[in-house]
Structure 1
Amino acid sequence: MSWLPAGYSLLLTLLITAPLLRPGYLLLRDAVSTPRSYPTDTALGLGDAAPRAVPQDWLLATLSPVIDGGLIVKIILFAALWAAGYGAAVLVRELLGAPLAAQLVATTLVVWNPYIAERLLQGHWSLLTGYAALPWTASAALRLRTAGHSGFERFRNWSVLAGCLAAAGLTPTGALLAGTVALLVAGPRRSPGVLVLMAVTSAPWLVATAASGVAAEPSDPAGVTAFAARAEPWLATVGSLAGLGGIWNAEAVPVSRTTPIAALATILLLAVVALGIRRVVAADGDPDRTRARRVLIALAGAAVLVPALTATPAGLTFMEWLVVEVPGAGLLRDTQKFVALAAPGYALCAAAACLGFAGRSREGEVREESAGPTGARTGPADGPARWSPALAALFIGVLTLPLLDLGWGADGQLRAIGYPDSWHEIAERIDGPGDIAVLPGGMFRRFPYSGSAPVLDPAPRMLPRDVLQTGALPVHDLTVTGEGARAQTVENLLLDGGPPDQLAQLGVGWVLVERDTPGPLGNSAATLARLRPVHSTGELALYQVPDVRPRPAPAHRSLVVAAHILWALLLVIPLATYAYGALIRRARR
């Protein structure tokens, strides 16, 4: 029955992602998948804006000429949700010796929770790879402490950790999440090696940041308040975070989290966690596993309290100072992302709660526990194991029923859409130099085929040249400015009806007008009238700017490409290591 946790995680994943199984593309708020994308400077993180989507965009640009880009995104999202749930089962089996029923509860908690729902609705599909890597990273880091003295065994454990960190590093935030877990679980003695691995697996965005010079530019402090964690109904901010919710965008939440059900769900979740916490922190005769469990519990507490504190007036003031004075600190603005770090600790507590309340001697000490097949300690051999299936069924119901609208693509909001053929036609017409400016102004669109929620403009991933984007994000009643100074200059020039020669001097060779979405056009008709029309459809119109002066290629482009290739190699090293180990074992037989 060892396959059951993997199969159960697969079932939960299917229940969530079912609407994406039909042909089409994910286009919801920040999530943009396209049939094909291109290895532009922006995809490598060398555009005007901070490299927040590397190596994600480079990976899609590399693979989409061979595999449909929409299918790649679906596969990654599907694999992330499945791996998160199955990883939780593996983690509680290794650290607690949890029986099957307890493993299923851990899987449920990690896959079916408000964090997953809200990040899916916000469109952060790639962040969930970092979330999924957390239990696997904790297990890999623990093996560094418990491995034997064989040189190959040590290399294998380090390579597995490298693979976990690389998978998490599909986005910069994911790299920080997994790196934090690896450092804390591996311990101080191994921290230098872990730090080196973190730097190498994060090379795509670290090198791109250094090469583009974006790191020297401070982030807009308005983003701190805009992206601070938010209190949900009947819950303070800390309560929302403790319930694995509290995303800053009130529109990117399931309906159930906008009602008093959110408070009930949080109470039930925390009750399950509280029932198991004592057993998780208790010593069991294996100091390494005991330490790992305690570290993950402490990390869970910090993952709730720190984002809650940063949402207070004093915390907001501190964070505003941080993002202005410390280069790269803008990566920390959305503090609710880091609530993901609570998931492994919560999973341990939920699994431990299934072991029941027996197993304690009259003196209150934990009874001697029997060793499980992995060497981890199980629960006491009597009482608890008998009760765990019934408790597991109860806990699974407690965790899933208040959040039923996570199923079927968050009540149908997560679905596959189709693009008009005009996008493909436009992409084929762009065959000259220069970057692309886009109208209407702004980065978000509301297409007839994309639904009611605003979506990021797909043009930067759909077209074969760099598309200028300001990086400005409208949040609530304010706009958080981005780093795209040249893009903002170009947008202002178009909206003011400026002359084409100024566009040419700024390196703009093309202007795309997206006709089927609302947005500011200003006096751009005056500029467009002086450009050469190239192609026009009902949805799109393409114009060419004469006498464009293309900007030179970035000086360190080859170095950034090398960093991306290194990251990709680290993804496959664990597979190569295990394959080599299997060959060695077969040869010895």
Structure 2
Amino acid sequence: MRARVGLLVWSVLPATIALGPLLGALLPGGGHLLLRDGVTTPRSHLTDSALGLGEGAARAVPQDAVVAVASSVIDGGALVVGILLLALTGAGVGAGVLIARLLDTTAAAPRMVAATVAIWNPYVAERLLQGHWSLLVGYAALPWTVVAAAALRREIGPRSVAAIVLCLGIAGLTPTGLLMNALLAVAVVLAPGAPRRLATGIVLSATALLSAPWSVAALTSGAGAASDPAGVAAFAARAEPGLGTVGSLAGLGGIWNGDAVPSSRTTWWALVGTALLLVVAAAGVPALWRRRSPVIVAVTGLGLLAVLVAALAATPLGLDVGRWAAESVPGAGLLRDGQKWVALWMPGLVLATAAAASSAVRAGVASLLVVAALPDLAWGVGGALRPVQYPDDWTRVAATIGASERDVAVLPSGTFRVFPFSGDVPVLDPAPRWLAADVLQTGDLPVGGQVVAGEGERAREVEDQLLAGRAPDPSLGVGWVLIEATSRGEFGRVDESLGALDAVHAGPDLLLYRVPDAVTPPPADRTAAVATHLLWAGLTLAAGAIVAAGTVRSRRR
């Protein structure tokens, strides 16, 4: 018990330091995360888009539905920041449990090093800066998935099956999280030395069922059947200073967005920091090799393969293949951000660094080197993670529109905004999460000086009409036009459009207009979407209850 508490406390410490000022969002009125793709609001709503029924590909399900339901009870900003804190802490504790199980040790030193590596690395820093909080939930599940899959190899029973379902269900908050953990679980159960067929079938069946919220949405709506091939190069892994692409990825860095990196990764320290991390890992390789464990080989092999594939995907040949896939293979857009799959390297890296920490002294040195490799992850990644306060206009407009059956069009054009109250960093438009009505979005993403086209054709048609000075065609089902007046962006000749609309709200930040005679679009059939979300939630909660009950019984014994 003392060892478990020590591991938990050790994991909470770096997680808290990494999030820093963002933890203020946990307090009443503490503000909200609003940084690049990370957008929280006081309350989200169970709109068609939140269920994956919009024009765009279902990339944020069941995540958006979970936040919509949970934010009816707790402030959405506190909810997401709380999940982030649990995820980072869970990554550290999971890494420690992984070491205890696979290295068969009760020593505290290697588990502490493992926890430090799992939390304090460029992947975590870059995804925090990009706002990918839900991806970090899937990342945090990786060591737990290895432990659960290894248990499934040894014995197939209610508790071992429930454990793997629970890990995949939690990771399944996003499609990428589920697929990463499923790949890892399959690699473990297929490793030589244990019965494979039934265990593999269990993992694949669980993955198929838990992916239903987004896979069924993609099949029934047709969204995401093809994606813009320009996104392949735009989202390819990036070489950091002093490192090639392989070196950046091997150090768990290399995110496509060069602006979403800690300042230390933009200088020669990127090379030094990566070298420090990999030197610590290399010191443990001989100890891992002597174990001849099929599971350890599978875990590290998959991680190295992820590094290699992500690096190859950024080469001219890899980019050509990716562009072909984007145009020809349904759902290939899910794979375009190649660097995010490097998360699969984390469990192997954790094993190697922990194997090097055979004593308290070595553990202390290793932990110091890992932290020194990325000093500016501290305090909200150098202060970049800070909660923001929305102007009062947002509350007023949300109350005015209510749960309207007609859609909302928003200007300026595009998907990202730059607000005075959120700083100079572009952020996803918060309107789709603030409003209970569906907000039309083109899904266009500005990346590296070019625009990667999204799937929102109806949104693009309405946006073009407004920019050209025309009121939206009433047949398109747009009942409201929201002008985010303080944001930078293109407004075109929208002033000419507004003359034909009814002014409803005029505040310092937002202007709201009603479209006269707008046709109410036919309601989407939510039956399948709701059923698949309930399936995912039911399986995950049931698995959690079985694991909890089994844990209580074993501790009593």
TM-score, length of structure 2 as denominator length = 0.95
Which residue pairs with 1:476 in the alignment?
448
Which residue pairs with 1:509 in the alignment?
479
Q: Is the 8 A contact 2:17 2:378 kept in 1?
A: yes
Which residue pairs with 2:193 in the alignment?
none
Query: Displacement, 1:579?
Result: 4.6
Residue segments in structure 1 that go unaligned for 5+ positions in a row: 285-289, 356-387
Query: Displacement, 1:307?
Result: 0.4
Residue 575 of structure 1, aligned match among 539, 544, 551: 544
Output one character per residue of 1:251-277: Cα deviation in whole Å (capped at 9) or x when no partner: 000000001110011111111111112
Q: Would you say 1:532 and 2:502 are equivalent positions?
A: yes
Counterpart of 1:140, as a letter, is A
Q: Is the 8 A contact 1:30 1:455 kept in 2?
A: yes
Query: Displacement, 1:415?
Result: 1.0
Which residue pairs with 1:194 in the alignment?
203
Aligned counterparts of 1:583 and 1:227: Cα–Cα separation in 2: 45
Change (3 A) 1:342 1:583: closer
Counterpart of 2:253, as a letter, is G
Q: Would you say 1:551 and 2:521 are equivalent positions?
A: yes
Which residue pairs with 2:34 in the alignment?
27
Aligned counterparts of 1:170 and 1:259: Cα–Cα separation in 2: 34
Q: Is the 8 A contact 1:433 1:548 kept in 2?
A: no
Runs of 4+ in 1 over 4 A off after TM superposition: 582-586
Q: Would you say 1:444 and 2:447 are equivalent positions?
A: no
Which residue pairs with 2:360 in the alignment?
389
Which residue pairs with 1:365 in the alignment?
none
Residue 275 of structure 1, aligned match among 271, 276, 283: 283
Which residue pairs with 1:230 in the alignment?
238
Counterpart of 1:443, as a letter, is T
SS at match of 2:200: helix
Output one character per residue of 1:136-173: Cα deviation in whole Å (capped at 9) or x when no partner: 001000001112x7xxxx11111111111011011111
Report the more deviating stretch, 566-575 or 48-57.
566-575
Which residue pairs with 2:143 in the alignment?
135
SS at match of 1:160: helix
Report the more deviating stretch, 267-276 or 410-419.
267-276
Output one character per residue of 1:547-582: Cα deviation in whole Å (capped at 9) or x when no partner: 111221223x11111111111122222332145446
Q: Is the 8 A contact 2:163 2:547 kept in 1?
A: no
Query: Displacement, 1:186?
Result: 1.6
Aligned counterparts of 1:499 and 1:30: Cα–Cα separation in 2: 30
Give the length in aligned residue pairs.
542
Query: Displacement, 1:478?
Result: 0.8
Output one character per residue of 1:297-355: Cα deviation in whole Å (capped at 9) or x when no partner: 10121121110011010111111111111100100000000000000000000011112
Counterpart of 1:417, as a letter, is V
Counterpart of 1:207, as a letter, is V
Output one character per residue of 1:11-69: Cα deviation in whole Å (capped at 9) or x when no partner: 01110112122111000000000000110000001101111111110011111111111
Q: Would you say 1:264 and 2:235 are equivalent positions?
A: no
Which residue pairs with 1:245 in the alignment?
253
Output one character per residue of 1:361-419: Cα deviation in whole Å (capped at 9) or x when no partner: xxxxxxxxxxxxxxxxxxxxxxxxxxx11111111111101311101000110111111
Q: Is the 8 A contact 2:224 2:455 kept in 1?
A: no
Q: Would you say 1:220 and 2:191 are equivalent positions?
A: no
Query: In percent, how many aligned pairs have the same letter?
Result: 51
Aligned counterparts of 2:407 and 2:547: Cα–Cα separation in 1: 45
Which residue pairs with 1:377 in the alignment?
none
SS at match of 1:247: coil
Query: Displacement, 1:211?
Result: 2.0
Change (3 A) 1:411 1:584: closer
SS at match of 2:44: coil
Counterpart of 1:454, as a letter, is P
Query: Displacement, 1:535?
Result: 1.1
Aligned counterparts of 2:520 and 2:185: Cα–Cα separation in 1: 44
Change (3 A) 1:232 1:579: closer
Counterpart of 2:13, as a letter, is L
Q: Would you say 1:316 and 2:322 are equivalent positions?
A: no
Q: Would you say 1:346 and 2:349 are equivalent positions?
A: yes
Q: Is the 8 A contact 2:471 2:498 kept in 1?
A: no
Aligned counterparts of 2:405 and 2:215: Cα–Cα separation in 1: 28
Change (3 A) 1:514 1:184: same
Counterpart of 2:65, as a letter, is W
Aligned counterparts of 2:459 and 2:189: Cα–Cα separation in 1: 44
Aligned counterparts of 1:582 and 1:543: Cα–Cα separation in 2: 56
Q: Is the 8 A contact 2:95 2:350 kept in 1?
A: yes
Which residue pairs with 2:218 in the alignment?
209
